[in-house]
């Protein structure tokens, strides 16, 4: 079994049997000794996962089998909370408690990649009926003690590490790499395998251990997902469906410059942050403009650096939006041309950014036609193919910044040309963004299918973005070659367009 | 979610900008011969009286802090004496030169020299010394070398070098290939001879003559010691350069200004309506203001002949001297600016004869300067905000790993300038750096944003920008950018005060702008 690279900084692996270390003498007793036989911690379980990592280079293949392990904990009747990254791309999930070697098959109930949380259940929950679920606490104070419990590398049995709360801050969550939420930094050792395990204070869960730091630049830095993020997840799925985070989809720029403050008409009380960019398809796309000044969100004054005082702490103003759900509203006070305005905004999810982050539990979508492989452009694709083409990199890098998603919600890339007599002259055009096929503008992978179905002309004509000549195939030759190429390159299906 | 994503980009972009300093002026890979090769068999012969050593000191301007210069460095080469006591060297030899001198290889006598003409695209320069008694004496024993353009494939030639006391060292080469290739700046290809053999290196050198029977057949362009491949800037290009210089006004090498695509693919030929054996290449791009555009050439035309030479489906013609050669040489190497060119194309199945007066697109005609030597980058500094016009050398100074964010965006504009040229921009003005001053408080991390407007005026080049800063409404400069955060404000009074402080301050800024 391979060790699955779960999170880049988690040093490649969660706990794995091959890494079993020699027995270590029990550590000296801490403040209060824990009797693992007492059952108090029996709700903290080891999660063993078999994984199939999708292959974005040969999207018709199954992918690479792999595996890993992490931690989860009981929060209700047959409901275990863990990290999304522990169970992502899983083909088999097994739960083990610390005192019972029996593996119990489990499945995902809900998974939220954007906040790296998942809820799983045992297929037969009766084994866990007697276990006591863990209770949630609140946001712990700085410099108070917490313990992290889980099944990290270094042994098979349950492990406890102790530390203090070092920092409470809005931070990127590296599971997708594009989402940021509140995270609490602790100096308790959090190692591969701790992922998904509870962090406790006075017997209550104050967080889920989920990521560390790459080590070379910082030490004794671990992060946990705090209770507000966990509670939001649990509330979101209460209706049986996960609806994702909502977003203002606007970027703020601090007002630190006196000339800027004067020009924008803000007073000297340090209230108001400038709008530096607005996504036209986001929640405030029709409301805010560049150069507007956001004064308050839900009556919480926004400071000139974009922070608000919220629940006693200074936090990013987005934290107020973060707690809300799709369809909720916020009250926004803002200033334009010196005039104070007010509006109520209905919040919605902003989809285009998702493609810029890692995605999981998805079968790669593709179309193969006469050896030409078309795939949608996203982070998974970019990571799998080392694309050096300037246009592909530009479109990916500036998908949001230059609002490219408006014209092309799902850019399609000609990722490969599987060589054959019919396409040998166009092999150099692999790694190009597809602009048009047979006169049809390509805005998504589905358009490729529609365009290829057009058979009114003797040639398949493909226009690639910023390549100055069309790429053409004679239709009758292409059709004759298609089956041959599929067979030669061992491709069973010539397309997968998703479940819909 | 989206927010921190954008900020992250921003921080990265800004951090890469000031941290980067251009590569020092060390000779680039392949430019100069590598240290002596073991096993080379140089043949010692008599001293030549047609060669002089050339020593130049080169000092480019800093691309990122454009008010200052980089550290000076020395370059050496072996120049060729031509008629009129002029000395031929490569353009590289004299790029950004602050001082040039000639030295007699045997006696070691030295005399200062200056550049008479230089073409950085053709990589050639002509030097001379002020007429004086000393100059007369210096050149007394020297004899001009003739230029011989008759070299063909398989000819034996010698690369010449001089030893410590002026003795001549020869490395024999056989010309294996003739092709067109870019020299050392952006632009179309020039004629190149390629040869394989070991070249002994006496010292790093920016110019080495290649001779045959005592006549000049080219200058060494590059030597790759690993593969033992030598490229030579050939006599036909040297003759073209000298002839152009001789008439008093230097025009440079013309170009058609178009891009072509091979038509070897049979399906593509059929799609284009080309007969199986018909010659010609597809014109896929016609540049604005180029000779091809003036001749009425259009994207989609099939180019079949230039000046009576048939163009094959690779884009080559049959050169009487060298065989198959890129058709670009027909214009660039064999014609002059102002010459008439006859271009035959097939358009909508019919033959059309186009005629054009050949022109050259000057570096300044490009939205993004392809190269910049001998003068400082243009800039405007306002209150600590540094504005520059985008240039290739500026972008090239960033390494591969820094190609993300702003640099990737700017690089793409350099490769695809059409949209920005259509907007009427002459140059691409961008905020390159923010110096920390009271005026720029809060803007420190910015860099790499394209400037659209200042104080309501559209910015087509830096002169526009300098003018726009004279016309602030009220007491605030309003700077509109193409990228996040899209709008910046500067207090006019504080910006002027900070300008004055910058002039004498820690950054050693001698001037707030360079617009010449």
Residue A173 contacts residue A184 (beta carbons within 8 Å): no
Q: Identify the CA nearest to B2 among candidates A232, A285, A111.
A: A285
Residue A18, SS3 per DSSP: helix
A128 and A233 part of one domain: yes
Q: Is residue A30 part of a domain?
A: no
Chain A residues with CB under 8 Å of B2 CB are 247-251, 279, 282, 350, 353, 400
Q: What is the DSSP letter of B279?
A: -
- pLDDT score for A50: 96
Instruction: Give chain B's residues under pLDDT 70.
Output: 1-47, 202-204, 400-404
A233 and A214 part of one domain: yes
Question: How many Cα atoms within 13 Å fall on the side-chain side of residue B75?
Answer: 31
What is the CATH classification number for the domain harbouring A79?
Answer: 2.40.10.120
Close Cβ partners of B91 (under 8 Å, ≥ 6 residues apart): B118, B119, B120, B122, B123, B124, B125, B184
A234 and A256 part of one domain: no
Residue B361 contacts residue B255 (beta carbons within 8 Å): yes
- Parallel, antiparallel or unpaired: strands B449-454 and B350-357: unpaired
Which B residues 465-484 touch A at CB under 8 Å?
476-478, 483-484
Q: Is residue A33 part of a domain?
A: no
Dist CA A272 CA A261 (whole Å): 9
- pLDDT score for A212: 83
A458 and A327 part of one domain: no
A406 and A471 part of one domain: yes
A99 and A174 part of one domain: yes
Q: Check A114 against B489: CB less than 8 A apart.
A: no
Q: Is residue A60 part of a domain?
A: yes
Residue A89 contacts residue A96 (beta carbons within 8 Å): no
- pLDDT score for B148: 96
User: How would you classify residue A215: left for phi > 0, otherwise alpha for psi between -120 and 50, otherwise beta?
Assistant: left
Q: Is residue A358 part of a domain?
A: no
Q: Identify the CA nearest to B459 among candidates B435, B429, B489, B415.
A: B429
A452 and A332 part of one domain: no
A479 and A413 part of one domain: yes
Domain boundary among A287, A314, A346: A346
Q: Is residue A28 part of a domain?
A: no
* Chain A: residue whose CA lies nearest to B268: A472
**Is A325 within 8 Å of chain B by CB?**
no
What is the CATH classification number for the domain harbouring A403?
Answer: 3.20.190.20
Can you list the domains of chain B with their CATH numbers?
39-247 (2.40.10.120), 258-357 (2.30.42.10), 368-514 (3.20.190.20)
Query: Looking at the 3D structure of chain A, how many domains does it have?
Result: 3
Q: Check A468 against B7: CB less than 8 A apart.
A: no
What is the CATH classification number for the domain harbouring A273?
Answer: 2.30.42.10
Write the residue in A180, A390, A466 that is nearest to B411 by C-beta.
A390
A78 and A140 part of one domain: yes
Domain boundary among A218, A239, A260: A239
Domain enclosing residue A303, as ranges: 250-346
Write the residue in B261, B440, B483 that is nearest to A469 by C-beta.
B261
Mutate to test the interface with B, among A259, A382, A388, A407 (most CBs of B within 10 A): A259
Give the other-Cβ count within 10 Å of B107's Cβ: 11
Q: Is residue A4 part of a domain?
A: no
Close Cβ partners of B14 (under 8 Å, ≥ 6 residues apart): B406, B434, B444, B445, B446, B447, B448
Mutate to test the interface with B, among A249, A253, A473, A476 (most CBs of B within 10 A): A253
Chain B residues with CB under 8 Å of A180 CB are 1, 3-5
A228 and A273 part of one domain: no
- pLDDT score for B403: 63
Whether the model clears a pTM of 0.95, i.e. scores above it, the answer is no
Question: Across all residues in chain B, what is the average pLDDT?
Answer: 88
Mutate to test the interface with A, among B3, B285, B481 (most CBs of A within 10 A): B3
pLDDT in single tens digits along all 500 residues of chain A: 333 333 333 332 332 222 333 333 333 334 555 666 566 788 999 999 999 999 999 999 999 999 999 999 999 999 999 999 999 999 999 999 988 879 999 999 999 999 999 999 999 999 899 899 999 999 999 999 999 999 998 888 899 999 999 998 888 999 999 999 999 999 988 888 999 999 999 999 999 999 987 656 677 789 999 999 999 999 999 999 999 999 999 999 999 999 999 999 987 688 999 999 999 999 999 999 999 999 999 999 999 999 999 878 888 999 899 999 999 999 999 999 999 999 999 999 999 999 999 999 999 999 999 999 999 999 999 999 988 888 999 999 999 999 999 999 999 999 999 999 999 999 999 999 999 999 999 999 999 999 999 999 999 999 999 998 999 999 999 999 999 999 999 999 999 999 75
Residue B304, SS3 per DSSP: strand
Q: Is residue A8 part of a domain?
A: no
Residue A308 contacts residue A330 (beta carbons within 8 Å): no
The β-bridge partners of B389 are: B429
Q: Is residue A261 part of a domain?
A: yes
Domain boundary among A239, A266, A284: A239
A232 and A254 part of one domain: no
Q: What is the ipTM of this complex?
A: 0.85
A230 and A307 part of one domain: no
Residue A329 contacts residue A345 (beta carbons within 8 Å): yes
């Amino acid at each position: 079994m391979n060790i699955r690279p779960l999170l880049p900084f988690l040093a490649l692996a969660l706990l794995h049997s091959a890494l079993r270390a020699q027995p270590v003498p029990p550590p000296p007793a801490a403040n209060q000794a824990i009797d693992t036989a007492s059952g108090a911690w029996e709700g903290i379980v080891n999660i063993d996962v078999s994984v199939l990592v999708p292959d974005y280079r040969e999207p018709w293949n199954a992918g690479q089998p792999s595996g890993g392990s992490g931690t989860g904990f009981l929060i209700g009747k047959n409901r275990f909370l863990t990290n999304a990254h522990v169970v992502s791309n899983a083909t088999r999930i097994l739960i083990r408690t610390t005192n019972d070697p029996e593996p119990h098959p489990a499945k995902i109930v809900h998974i939220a990649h954007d906040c790296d949380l998942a809820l799983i259940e045992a297929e037969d929950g009766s084994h866990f009926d007697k276990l006591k679920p863990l209770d949630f606490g609140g946001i712990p104070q700085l410099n108070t003690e917490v313990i992290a419990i889980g099944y990290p590398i270094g042994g098979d049995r349950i492990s406890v590490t102790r530390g203090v709360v070092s920092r409470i801050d809005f931070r990127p969550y590296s599971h997708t790499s594009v989402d940021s939420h509140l995270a609490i930094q602790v100096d308790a050792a959090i190692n591969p395998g701790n992922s998904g395990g509870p962090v406790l204070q006075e017997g209550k869960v104050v967080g889920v251990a989920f990521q560390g730091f790459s080590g070379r630049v910082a030490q004794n830095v671990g992060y946990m997902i705090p209770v507000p993020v966990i509670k939001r997840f649990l509330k979101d799925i209460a209706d049986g469906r996960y609806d994702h985070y909502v977003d203002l989809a606007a970027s703020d720029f601090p007002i630190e410059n006196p000339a800027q403050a004067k020009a924008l008409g803000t007073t000297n009380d340090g209230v108001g942050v400038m709008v530096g960019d607005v996504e036209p398809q986001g929640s405030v796309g029709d409301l805010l403009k560049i150069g507007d000044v956001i004064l308050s969100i839900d009556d919480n004054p926004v400071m000139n650096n974009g922070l608000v005082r919220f629940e006693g702490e200074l936090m990013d103003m987005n934290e107020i939006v973060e707690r809300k759900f799709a369809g909720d509203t916020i009250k926004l006070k803002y200033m334009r041309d010196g005039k104070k305005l007010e509006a109520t905004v209905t919040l919605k999810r902003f989809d285009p950014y998702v493609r810029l982050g890692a995605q999981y539990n998805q079968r790669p979508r593709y179309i193969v036609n006469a050896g030409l492989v078309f795939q949608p452009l996203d982070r998974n694709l970019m990571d799998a193919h080392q694309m050096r083409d300037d246009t592909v990199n530009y479109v990916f890098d500036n998908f949001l910044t230059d609002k490219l998603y408006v014209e092309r919600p799902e850019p399609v890339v000609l990722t490969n040309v599987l060589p054959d007599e019919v396409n040998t002259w166009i092999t150099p055009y692999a790694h190009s963004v597809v602009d048009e096929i047979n006169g049809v503008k390509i805005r998504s992978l589905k358009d490729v299918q529609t365009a290829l179905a057009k058979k009114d002309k003797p040639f398949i004509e493909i226009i690639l973005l910023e390549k100055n000549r069309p790429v053409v195939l004679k239709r009758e030759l292409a059709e004759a070659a298609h089956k041959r190429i599929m067979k030669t390159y061992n491709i069973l299906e010539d397309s997968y367009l998703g479940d819909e | 979610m989206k927010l921190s994503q954008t900020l992250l980009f921003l921080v990265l972009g800004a951090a890469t900008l000031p941290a980067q300093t251009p590569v020092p002026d060390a000779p680039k890979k392949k430019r100069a011969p590598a240290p002596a090769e073991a096993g080379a068999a140089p043949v010692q012969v008599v001293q030549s009286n047609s060669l002089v050593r050339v020593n130049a000191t080169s000092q480019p301007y800093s691309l990122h802090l454009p008010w200052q210069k980089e550290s000076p460095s020395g370059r050496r080469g072996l120049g060729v004496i031509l008629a009129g006591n002029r000395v031929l060297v490569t353009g590289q030899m004299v790029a950004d030169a602050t001082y040039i001198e000639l030295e007699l290889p045997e006696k070691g006598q030295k005399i200062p020299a200056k550049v008479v003409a230089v073409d950085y695209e053709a990589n050639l320069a002509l030097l001379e010394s002020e007429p004086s008694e000393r100059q007369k004496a210096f050149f007394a024993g020297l004899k001009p070398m003739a230029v011989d353009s008759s070299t063909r494939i398989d000819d034996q030639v010698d690369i010449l070098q001089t030893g410590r006391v002026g003795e001549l060292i020869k490395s024999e080469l056989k010309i294996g290939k003739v092709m067109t290739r870019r020299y050392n700046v952006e632009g179309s290809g020039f004629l190149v001879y390629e040869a394989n053999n070991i070249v002994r290196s006496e010292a790093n050198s920016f110019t080495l003559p290649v001779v045959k029977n005592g006549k000049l057949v080219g200058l060494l362009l590059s030597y790759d010691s690993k593969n033992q491949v030598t490229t030579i800037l050939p006599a036909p290009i040297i003759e073209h350069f000298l002839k152009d210089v001789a008439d008093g006004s230097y025009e440079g090498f013309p170009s058609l200004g178009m891009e072509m695509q091979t038509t070897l693919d049979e399906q593509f030929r059929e799609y284009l309506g080309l007969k199986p054996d018909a010659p010609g290449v597809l014109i896929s791009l016609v540049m604005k203001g180029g000779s091809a555009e003036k001749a009425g050439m259009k994207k989609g035309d099939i180019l079949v002949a230039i000046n009576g030479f048939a163009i094959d489906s690779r884009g080559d013609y049959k050169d009487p001297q060298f065989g198959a050669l890129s058709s670009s040489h027909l214009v660039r190497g064999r014609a002059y600016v102002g010459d008439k060119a006859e271009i035959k194309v097939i358009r909508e199945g019919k033959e059309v004869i186009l005629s054009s007066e050949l022109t050259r697109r000057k570096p300044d005609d490009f939205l993004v300067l392809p190269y910049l030597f001998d003068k400082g980058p243009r800039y405007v500094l306002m209150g600590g905000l540094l504005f520059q016009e985008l240039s290739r050398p500026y972008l090239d100074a960033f390494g591969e790993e820094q190609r993300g964010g702003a640099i990737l965006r700017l690089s793409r504009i350099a490769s695809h300038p059409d949209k920005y040229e259509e907007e009427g921009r002459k140059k691409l003005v961008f905020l390159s750096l923010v110096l920390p001053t009271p005026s720029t408080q809060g803007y420190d991390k910015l860099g790499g944003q394209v400037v659209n407007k200042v104080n309501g005026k559209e910015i087509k080049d830096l002169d526009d920008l300098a003018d726009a800063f004279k016309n602030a409404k009220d007491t605030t400069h309003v700077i509109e950018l193409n990228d996040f955060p899209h709008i910046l404000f500067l207090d006019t009074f504080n910006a002027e005060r900070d300008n004055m402080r910058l002039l004498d301050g820690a950054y050693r800024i001698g001037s707030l702008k360079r617009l010449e």
